[in-house]
Amino acid sequence: MSNRQKSILTADADALRRADDVVGRLGLPNEGIEVTDPGTAEVIAHVPDVGRDGITSMMASADRAGASWARTTPRERSNILHRWWELLVEHSEDLALLITREMGKTLAEAKGEVKYGSDFVRWYAEEAVRAGGNFQEAPDGGSRIVTRRSPVGLSVLITPWNFPLAMATRKIAPALAAGCSVVIKPATATPLTTYFAVQLAREAGVPADLVHVITTSSSRTMSETALRDPHARKVSFTGSTEVGRTLLGLASERVLRTSMELGGNAPLLVFDDADLDRAVDGVFAAKMRNGGQSCIAANRIYVQDGIADDFVAAFRQKIASVRMGHGLSEGAHLGPLVSPRAVTDMEAIVAGAISEGAELLEGGNAPEGDGSFFSATLLDHVRPDSAISGSEIFGPIAAIQRFTTEEEAIQRANDTEFGLAGYVFTESLDRAFRVSDAIQCGLVGINQGVPSNAAAPFGGVKQSGLGREGGSEGLEEYQNIRFYNIAAR
């Protein structure tokens, strides 16, 4: 581990002050669930701990507001969403400071998330006026078939901690565009960004009771109460496959509509004919973005034999140049992990991989000091049958495996119960499509490490989930389809 990686850059005092000013403007209570800065281990806020009765009350309130919202015109909803987007852009600096303070990612990455998260609101402001429908003649000519779309109704949204703005807007915006009301439960580690974003939505004209934020110390109480509530019509969840299975079981009791974006174990394939510089940069982005704390992070990096040595050497230089620090420190490339438990998990993953034959080239430990930091880590010669190959790392550990043939790479890429994202680096157009078609996943990045886009459908196959978010498909998740059969004269 280099000396540069050992030192932790401290937060800029002025940036901390500005971030805490944003927290202060949220009007939160002085007691309740603690929210901690993972870069300093400091408690920065408290949020309400809502119990069963409070959840029930919010569900009823949102449902009542939803009845009026469903009767608004698509243009009315579109105008309000456009205004919300404008406010998000106007407050982009405040949002980025807040994301970094409660989640830990660097300010530069937080600004990127604000842009990404805001794009969902703009996209669904535009989609609101394209709600869909169809008219056709019945095959026997005896009638006319008309289909139309209507809002599903009260939607229960449950979001993770790793992208606190983007995961919220990716769910709230299509729900509102479709004419639905919402209760949203953010992760207890990162609720502040959601509170701020919803405040801005209300300033934009979203009725106060239409969107409720629920923070609670008992996720089980929240899920059981909300999903069994008679007003609930849909649940959308982003998180682990294990929790997703539990929610699907609860949703089945009342046959709720479901969208599930669950765990990932993304394969990334670098072929001999890849552009080396582009592959190194792309793999670094796919692996180290958000400190590796992303469901689509490159989890298993397969590099073909002919390019492997050169790739590993170049990638090692890039890893060695990473500077760790508080997300509000100038010059930091890698912020803290979300919690001390995450650091412990990374230590165990690295130790396990080494015990199973992997070679540690860079990083691999947690530096001393406050905060939940773990160094950017590079492992080479990882065995295909090792534990690290079968688990979602969710941290800044790049695990390199080597392969010889295309068929071998595809077989190993698909040797998982998950199927969220995959990546392919090659200069051959034929191979790019051939391999992308063969990988069992919901989205593929070809010669790039950040494939997500608000205009595109995001979701997985196999144990990685159901449904899609983003794109026109994301609006359909919040719509019912009804058809009218009109007799022909």
State whether residue 346 is helix, strand or coil.
helix
**CB-based contact 69:210 (threshold 8 Å):** yes
Phi, psi (5° rounding) for residue 380?
-120, 160
Pick the catalytic residue: 109, 180, 295, 477?
295
- Six-digit token string for 266: 């993304």
180 is catalytic: no
* Catalytic site includes residue 295: yes
Which tokens in the block code for residue 19?
A: 């971030």
DSSP-assigned letter for residue 10: P
Distance in angstroms (rounded) separating the CA atoms of residues 76 and 141? 37
- Distance (Å, rounded) from C-alpha 482 to C-alpha 131? 13
Crossing angle of helices 305-320 and 276-288, in 10° steps, is 60
DSSP structure class, residue 292: G
Cα(353)–Cα(331) distance, integer angstroms:
31
Reduced to 3 states, what is the DSSP secondary structure of residue 385?
coil
Beta strand 143-151 with 133-137 is antiparallel
Q: 338 and 104 in contact (C-beta within 8 Å)? A: yes
Answer for the pair 212, 182: CB distance below 8 angstroms, yes or no. Answer: yes
| Distances in whole angstroms, Cα of residue 130 to Cα of each of 50, 169, 371, 458 | 37, 19, 47, 19
Who contacts 310 (Cβ-Cβ below 8 Å, separation ≥6)?
Answer: 276
Is residue 401 within 8 Å of 302, Cβ to Cβ? yes
Which of 261, 362, 469, 476 is catalytic? The answer is 261
Distance CA 243, CA 241 (A): 6
CB atoms within 10 A of CB 238: 26
> Catalytic residue positions?
261, 295
